[in-house]
Amino acid sequence: MQDSAFTFQDGLISGLSEGQLRHPRFIRMSRGICAVQPAELDLASRVRPFTRVIDSSAASHDTAARLWDFPEPVRHRFDRRIHISRPSGGARMQRPGVMGHRSGLLPEEVVYVDGICVTTRTRTWLDLAETLDLDDLVVIADYLVRIPRPAFEGRAEPYATQKELQGMLRRHPGKRGLRKAREALSLARVGADSPPETRLRLAMARAGLPEPAVNQPIRNEDGDILHRPDLSLPEYRIAIEYDGEGHGDSGQIARDIEREERARAADWDEVRISKRHMANGARRAVEKISVALRARGWRQEDAA
């Protein structure tokens, strides 16, 4: 227990006496919760005792999102307070630094991870609909339904399917944020590899541009795959690539140039977007894509 917070009861079970637990070396984090050096504890260590100190308590909402490593919202970061949900019939946890919730949690909507009772990824996503902006909710939905690359991520299945998210919505009619969650799910797409890709796709839709395909392959005349752009507009032969921080590496720069040359040889135009294009609702990115579309014969009235 030297590197973790723990409940007073767990300390007794481990063999510590009440006198030892009241020694100054143990710092009281909350009622019935102790720690040796709370400032150095990671999130899981700080949250764990709050799910044990009172029965039927689960880490939820923003805290569960952080434990599951969901993409961080852009405008408002996840709340750093500890969010704890209890069944609808129980009292909300009321402690300093804790945001208590009463939720209609079903048994299959909580799991234990490293000794922490936490809401599942799909239930956490639905709970976040209470406070997150629509785009942030779509970003997380895309993150959940994305099909991973086993060689790089050590998993072959997505964290959730669109059908599973739909099932979560059906189980909680009337829940706060449900309408926003339904809209977010309707906007989710399988394939986005990063939050900027999702945000760019949403910005294009709001600007009236054609909906892009997500990570669909570009092929040459022989049917060979040249590469899979982040987003693409096949009808207009436009590939859209988001260049993240890793694209400043000299080796990556060379690969990006080769990729663009292959696309041009196949009569595709490549539009490269960076972080600076994503400010102000991706306004500059949308303008750049619009220019490429018009050069390929698209007109705004075509979208009407």
For residue 224, tell me if it sits in a domain.
yes
Residues 246 and 273 reside in one and the same domain = yes
CB 123 within 8 A of CB 89: no
| CA distance linking residue 84 with residue 59, whole number of Å | 5
List, in sequence order, every residue forming a beta bridge with 112; answer none if it has no partner: 117
Are 183 and 61 members of one domain? yes
Is residue 91 over pLDDT 90? no
Domain range enclosing 115: 56-187
If asked whether residues 67 and 33 sit together in one domain, one would say no
Could you give the number of structural domains in the chain? 3
Q: Which residue has the higher pLDDT, 288 or 19?
A: 288
Residue 46 in any domain: the answer is no
CATH at 201: 3.40.960.10
Q: Where are the alpha helices (DSSP H) in the chain?
A: 8-13, 18-21, 43-47, 61-67, 121-128, 134-145, 150-153, 162-171, 178-187, 195-206, 250-265, 279-295
pLDDT digits (tens, 9 = 90+) for 107-163: 999 999 999 999 999 999 999 999 999 999 999 999 999 999 888 888 999 999 999
Strand pairing category for 225-227 and 218-219: antiparallel
**Confidence check: pLDDT of 247 > 60:** no
Domain identity same for 201 and 292: yes
Interatomic CA distance for residues 4 and 37, integer angstroms? 8
Q: How confident is the model at residue 1 (pLDDT cuts 50, 70, 90)?
A: low
Could you tell me if 158 and 219 lie in one domain?
A: no
Question: Quick check: is 141 in a domain?
Answer: yes
Kindly tell me if the per-residue pLDDT of 23 is higher than 60. Answer: yes
> Quick one: 215 and 272 in the same domain?
yes
Has residue 50 been placed in a domain?
no
Mean pLDDT of the chain: 89
d(CA 116, CA 124): 14
Backbone angles phi, psi at 246, to 5 degrees: -65, -15
Give the end of a domain, one of 187, 216, 247: 187
Are 96 and 210 within one domain?
A: no
Q: Is the pLDDT of residue 38 over 70?
A: no
Query: At 302, is the pLDDT very low, low, confident or very high (cuts 50, 70, 90)?
Result: low
Q: Which of 108, 98, 181, 99 is nearest to 138 (CA)?
A: 181
Q: Is the pTM of this model over 0.75?
A: yes
Residue 166, pLDDT above cutoff 90: yes
Do 130 and 241 lie in a common domain? no
Q: Do 125 and 9 lie in a common domain? A: no
Confidence band, pLDDT 50/70/90 cuts, at residue 252: low
Whether residue 80 sits in one domain with residue 9: no
Residue at which a domain ends, from 140, 167, 187: 187
Q: Are the C-beta atoms of residues 29 and 6 closer than 8 Å to each other?
A: no
Evaluate whether residue 153 is within a structural domain.
yes
Select from 187, 205, 235 the last residue of a domain: 187
> What are 99's strand-pairing partners?
83
Task: Identify the weakest region by mean pLDDT among 34-38, 91-95, 231-235, 296-300.
Answer: 34-38
Decide if 48 is inside a domain. Answer: no
Exposure string over 227-239, b if 16+ CB within 10 A, otherwise e: bebbbbbeebebb
Q: If we measure between CA atoms, which residue out of 5, 104, 3, 14 comes closest to residue 51?
A: 5
